[in-house]
Structure 1
Amino acid sequence: MPGGRLTQQERQQIAAGLADGLAYAEIARRLDRPTSTVTREVMRNGGPAGYRADLAHHATQRRTRRRPQASSRGTRAVPQPYGRDNAAVQEFQEALTTVILTSGLPSMAARVLGCLYTADDSLTASELAERLQVSPASISKAVTLLTGLDLVRRESEGRRERYVVDNDLWYQSMIRSVRDNDRFSETARQGVAVLGRDTPAGNRLENAARFLDFVSESLTRAMEQARDVLYTKPETPPAATAPSPDHE
């Protein structure tokens, strides 16, 4: 598998693959590159609809020329507990951030979420800024977005706030999605009354409302079951009683 930076020819192949509607994994297979490399390249340079090979190549060259000046400030190597390999953790964090990017989150929000996911403890805004080597203002904006989406939870520590993701992250996020679906479903039914049930537009809205009602009900039931099963610690079995010496 080739390593190093993508060449201009490889970027042209990525652009051609996107134009043909190929998935990132298929483009990566043809280039003999990791899928995360292709995903990160596309998301960093305009996304699937805006990716241009020449512009992406020039942008990478500009970033490379600026990197020595930026790296002179140094980056903080975070000591890894549990005997973890620091390079492997950083590589995984980058891959996770790339996956989060594809969900539609802005770049900085994805980086913050990836950082919090790979941290054993909650982090302050200043700790996040230090780890990601960005300004506190960038962290503040990203955290505001993430907390608003119920993807990050705030914890108060005196005058400071700490941020964390926990077991309830996906549960709360999906509950939010269900509520959004319910609001759309309710509004759609109002539209049916206005547009007429027997009209194409009214029929479209009614079908959307019925679909979302069914999905929301099924999803809520599945989430509650999963939460009870996965997040409930098993009871500690009672200690076995040793038989008495004269018990036969």
Structure 2
Amino acid sequence: MPGGRLTQQERQRIAAGLTDGLSYAEIARRLGRPTSTVSREVTRNGGPGDYRPRSAHRATVQRARRGAPADPLDGTPDGTPGGTVDDRIVELAVRSGMPRMMARVHVDLLLSEDGRRTAADLVRRLKVSPASVSVAVNSLVEHGYVRRERDPLRRRDVYVVDDEAWYHSVAISARQTLGSARAAQEAAETLGPGSPVGQRLLKAGTFLERVVGDMQESADRWRTLLR
């Protein structure tokens, strides 16, 4: 696996991967680099919608010449993310599998006073393109982390995160996992529950079904804590 600073060619490959809609993990795999290296590179240099490989390379060279201190996102000695509260929460969300732009939008909403932002607010605050914000908020709405409201006076959408969003995100995740469980069980029946593949799928489907049931029951029981 290569080490050291990214080369200009690698930055061009990162830009091409972003254009093709690849995840940070996939871009990193193709480069033979850690995912964190790619995510930090893009975050430092405009985000997925505004990443420019030549500008990023020049900025890195200039930082090296100035002897700039380590980036706060590189983390602390115990492995926890460094930087501001926003940075730390975003890094933890990315490590758990959330795309970085989606995490940045979500955290900005979470830390806002009233939990409300327009798309224009997010573009201005995060300094990214409207297209990047649009993709991120659509994913957040789809997964239940954020809801969309319409401002009738200004004829624009407002994105809102509130306490109930946590319940809805769990419920949506549970439904999606339950769908996978049912698909595995149906496939097991088709292939024959006595066959090796059928047994494997039936066990997996049953396991997921039980876990989802427990998760949904727990979410329903503790939902009052969010009210």
Q: CA RMSD of the aligned region, Å?
A: 3.1
Aligned counterpart in structure 1 of residue 101 of structure 2, from 108, 114, 129? 108
Query: Could you say which residue in structure 2 is the equivalent of 1:147?
Result: 141
Aligned counterpart in structure 2 of residue 196 of structure 1, from 172, 184, 192? 192
How far the C-alpha of 1:185 sits from its partner, in A, is: 2.0
* Aligned-partner Cα distance in 2 for 1:212–1:44: 26
Gaps of 5+ in 1: 1-6, 12-42, 68-89, 233-248
How far the C-alpha of 1:141 sits from its partner, in A, is: 1.8
* Aligned-partner Cα distance in 2 for 1:125–1:187: 37
Flag as ranges the 4+ runs of structure 1 deviating above 3 A: 43-51, 59-62, 64-67
- RCO (CA 8 Å, sep 6+): is it higher in 1 or 2? 2
* Aligned-partner Cα distance in 1 for 2:94–2:29: 12
Q: Deviation string for 1:132-161 (max 9, x for gaps)?
A: 011222211211121111111112112111
Aligned counterpart in structure 2 of residue 129 of structure 1, from 114, 123, 130? 123
Q: Deviation string for 1:184-234 (max 9, x for gaps)?
A: 222222212211111110101111121112111211111111112x134xx
**How many residues are treated as equivalent by the alignment?**
169
1:63 matched to 2:60: no
Gaps of 5+ in 2: 7-23, 45-53, 61-82
Within-5 A mapping of 1:1-248:
8=4, 46-47=27-28, 52=33, 63=56, 65-66=58-59, 91-121=84-114, 122-158=116-152, 159-228=155-224, 230-232=225-227
Q: Deviation string for 1:69-104 (max 9, x for gaps)?
A: xxxxxxxxxxxxxxxxxxxxx811111111111232
Q: Deviation string for 1:41-76 (max 9, x for gaps)?
A: xx69955885538xx59x679637348xxxxxxxxx
Q: Partner amino acid for 2:203?
A: N
| Partner-residue secondary structure (3-state), 1:162 | strand
Indicate how the Cα distance of structure 1 residues 44 and 62 shifts in structure 2: closer, same or farther if over 3 A, else same.
farther
Q: Partner amino acid for 1:210?
A: T
* Aligned-partner Cα distance in 2 for 1:206–1:144: 34
* Aligned-partner Cα distance in 1 for 2:215–2:88: 28
| Partner-residue secondary structure (3-state), 1:134 | coil
Normalising by structure 2, what TM-score? 0.64
Instruction: Determine if contact 1:125/1:140 at 8 Å carries over to the other structure.
Output: yes
How far the C-alpha of 1:128 sits from its partner, in A, is: 0.6
Indicate how the Cα distance of structure 1 residues 47 and 168 shifts in structure 2: closer, same or farther if over 3 A, else same.
farther
Q: Partner amino acid for 1:190?
A: E
